[in-house]
Amino acid sequence: MSEDLRTERKGQLLAVKDLPTLPTVLEEVSQLLEDPNSSTQQIAKLISRDQVLSAKVLKMVNSPIYGFPGRISTIQHALVLLGFNVIKGLIISTSVFELMTTSMVGLWEHSVGCAMACNAIAREAGFKEPEEYAVAGLLHDLGKVIVALQLPTAKEDIDAVVRQEDVLYLDAEKKVLGFGHDRINAWVADHWNLPVNLKIGISGHHRPVTAQHYPKMACVVHVGDVLIRTLEVGSGGDDLVPRLDPEALALLQLDMNQLDKVLDVMLAEIEGDGLSMGLG
């Protein structure tokens, strides 16, 4: 595919007027964060002004993904426990939730499942702040939603290639668009000023060990995606399970026995109604 066409497609995908609008509260919060004198209390107050958004964020924070079921009752408490990166990721997730559920059947469940897997993997690997890894898992297929929204005909072509050639969704995207949702994730992450570690998690999960910064974030999302596809939770757009990169496991210093433990944790969480995170 010619570079011109790729550039044109990138332009269409990032046409701002059509991108999911993030709540204005995010911009205001970002400005507050730049002020060293601002407090968690001020930031929490700002987010809490948007009552619908606050309710959705609190619902997600108290879901099994984060391991604080039903214990967080205020945005301020959520901020103290989880940090702003996680809350920002959750605000974005709630903003694209309806688009996810309408653009691809099963994508929200797949994304929630991947978030749970990423949290469990990060904990097993002994990483601090597993919640940030979970947010990357939640947003890892964002690019698929953007294509469905901005280039619906291309989305139909991608689906047709998946059906006819029985290939991974990523390979079908590359055939139709000249790039995959991982590349789109990187553009959108820049466009929305996502923290670098989240950007790497959502844009590097198909080539995790090549990430220059935060390769462990990309590796966790890669492994989480493979595991949740193995369990057939939701749908990433195709019926195949991508190959697990052994180098990603090596970088995370995890072995197959530990992965079995992670799978057991995930199964218990899913059976315990972990996916009932419909935000409607």
147-179 pLDDT per residue, tens: 988 888 999 999 999 999 999 999 999 999 999
Task: Please check the confidence at residue 251 and state whether its pLDDT lies above 90.
Answer: yes
Task: Please check the confidence at residue 60 and state whether its pLDDT lies above 60.
Answer: yes
The model's pTM:
0.87
pLDDT recorded at residue 39:
86
Helices (H), 104-180: 107-124, 130-139, 142-150, 152-165, 169-177
pLDDT recorded at residue 165:
97
In a domain, 113, yes or no: yes
Task: Please check the confidence at residue 279 and state whether its pLDDT lies above 50.
Answer: no
In a domain, 254, yes or no: yes
CATH of residue 216's domain is: 1.10.3210.10
In a domain, 39, yes or no: no
pLDDT recorded at residue 83:
85
* Residue 95 banded pLDDT, cuts 50, 70, 90: confident
* Residue 17 banded pLDDT, cuts 50, 70, 90: low
Tally the domains of the chain.
1
Q: How do residues 68-90 score in pLDDT, each as one tens digit?
A: 767 888 999 998 888 888 888 88
pLDDT recorded at residue 121:
96
d(CA 9, CA 6): 5
Between residues 84 and 238, which one has the greater pLDDT? 238
Query: CA dist 199 to 47, 65, 205, 218, Å?
Result: 23, 20, 10, 9
* Residue 280 banded pLDDT, cuts 50, 70, 90: very low
Q: How do residues 206-228 score in pLDDT, each as one tens digit?
A: 999 888 889 999 999 999 999 99
**Do 20 and 99 meet the contact criterion of CB atoms below 8 Å apart?**
yes
| Residue-range definition of the domain harbouring residue 245 | 3-21+97-271
Q: How do residues 179-194 score in pLDDT, each as one tens digit?
A: 999 999 998 888 887 8
Mean pLDDT of 188-209: 90
**Exposure on the CB side of residue 33, measured as CA atoms within 13 A:** 16
- In this structure, the number of other CB atoms found within 10 A of the CB of residue 52 comes to 10
pLDDT recorded at residue 230:
93
- In this structure, the number of other CB atoms found within 10 A of the CB of residue 253 comes to 10
In a domain, 264, yes or no: yes
Mean pLDDT of the chain: 86
In a domain, 59, yes or no: no
